[in-house]
Amino acid sequence: MIIVMKSGAGKKEKDEVLKRIRELGYNPHVIHGTTRDVIGAIGDERGKLALQEIESMKGVESVVPILQPYKLASKEVMKDSSLVKISDTVTIGGSKIIIMAGPCSVESEKQIIESAEAVKSAGGDILRGGAFKPRTSPYSFQGLEEGGLKLLAKARDLTGLPIVTEVINPETAELVAGYADILQIGARNSQNFALLKKVGQLKKPVLLKRGMAMTIQELLMSAEYILAEGNQSVILCERGIRTFETATRNTLDLSAIPVLRSKTHLPIVIDPSHATGNHHYVSPMSLAAVAAGADGLIIEVHPDPEHASSDGPQSLKPAKFALLMEKMRRVAEAVDRTI
């Protein structure tokens, strides 16, 4: 159920509602809107009739049942799109399309600094780079771990770009959160519920990637695990799903953008690099994602992809990334957005 507060309802009235929700055995989650707040009451639905009495409390406009299984992620909770603030200058979910770019893995100080400077120069907003890398093969490069996080932080200090990096287990989540501006949950961990709960408790923005065999509803249910822990700063990421096609690494489901837009208030990011697995296809899919209404893109950029430790074939060189940025700006303008 959601409790819609009246416009102008004061703190005292809201606190009384929160107190009553807890007395009824539910967990309240406040979602701040532009003109009014709504409060999600999450718990055993068998007792939801008791929540109807809250409608008579001072400051309450209405009590509305949420029909979707994903309660807090549902558009029923918030009609307008959520804005996820990353820094004083970067917010995901508004009219500006946010571009995250950088190498798959942090390999050295020289490599990550060069990458960050290239992303900054081209007009990118956020630096991506992996310090902890879950790989299909146990013999593949697994990342520099905390050393990589320190290099990412140095690149941020030099360029001013916020950083997004992957967290792969609950045990290292707090360590990564100490360095990162956005915690990335990769496709392989998108249903690691212990990890989802942990990042939900850390209150850092989370970029949640769709699993390679996940339905859209399953993606939203994973987002719900994070939201239910009190973290409202969740960004969804479509990164391609596994189909019968072998011409690309995965199949980029661009239809996920309008489908998700109709179902959730959470921002939507597209990852054309992991979806296609080939740098030749990254640019056209990026342009298509902008046209389809994505709130952001996460693109792999590497100064020397031929010698990259991971995902070199899908990484753009800095010059090609800069050219893509110019093209995306023109497409964004055509759909009333900016980059």
Share of the chain above pLDDT 90, in %: 78
Least-confidence region, from 40-44, 85-89, 99-103, 202-206: 40-44
Q: What is the pLDDT of residues 237-270, one digit of tens each?
A: 999 999 999 999 999 999 999 999 999 999 999 9
CB 94 within 8 A of CB 337: no
Amino acid at site 287: L
pLDDT of residue 203: 85
Q: Which residues contact 89 (CB under 8 A, 6 or more apart)?
A: none
Q: Which CATH number fits domain 2-64: 3.10.290.10, 3.40.50.300, 3.30.110.30, 3.30.70.1140?
A: 3.30.70.1140
pLDDT at residue number 300 = 98
* pLDDT at residue 59 in the model: 93
Mean pLDDT over residues 66-70, rounded?
A: 87
Q: Is the pLDDT of residue 24 over 70?
A: yes
What average pLDDT does the structure give for the chain? 93
In eight-state DSSP terms, residue 255 is T
Q: Give the mean pLDDT of 210-230.
A: 96
- Residues 42 and 55: their CA atoms lie apart, in Å, by 16
Across the range 52-61, mean pLDDT stands at 91
Whole-number Å distance between alpha carbons of 254 and 184: 20
The sign of the dihedral angle between the CA atoms of 5, 8, 9, 10 is: positive
What does the pLDDT read at residue 79?
83
Residue 43 reports pLDDT greater than 90: no
Give the confidence band of 165 by pLDDT, cuts at 50, 70, 90: very high
Range picked from 14-18, 44-48, 320-324 for highest mean pLDDT: 320-324
Work out the end-to-end distance of the chain between its first and last CA atoms, rounded to an integer number of angstroms: 37
Of all helices (H) and strands (E), which one includes residue 289? helix 279-292
Alpha helices in 203-298 (DSSP H): 216-228, 256-263, 272-276, 279-292
**148 band by pLDDT with thresholds 50, 70 and 90:** very high
Q: Give the mean model confidence (pLDDT) for residues 148-169.
A: 97
Return the H-helix or E-strand segment holding 184.
Answer: strand 182-185
Between 133 and 128, residue with greater pLDDT: 128
Looking at residue 51, what DSSP letter applies? G
Dihedral over Cα of 288, 294, 295, 301: its sign: negative
What are the tokens at 269? 């990011």
Q: For the domain bounded by 84-334, which CATH number is listed?
A: 3.20.20.70
- Residue 21 tokens read as 């929700």
For residues 202 and 167, the answer to whether their CB atoms sit within 8 Å is no
Distance (Å, whole) CA 254 – CA 122: 25
Q: What is the largest CA-CA distance in the chain?
A: 66
At residue 88, the pLDDT reads 94
Which pLDDT value is given to residue 130? 93
pTM over the 0.85 mark: yes
Helices and strands in the chain: count of H runs, count of E runs: 10, 14
Q: Give the pLDDT confidence of 131-145 residue by residue, as tens digits.
A: 987 656 665 666 788
User: Region 9-18: what's the mean pLDDT?
Assistant: 92
Domain boundaries, the chain: 2-64, 84-334
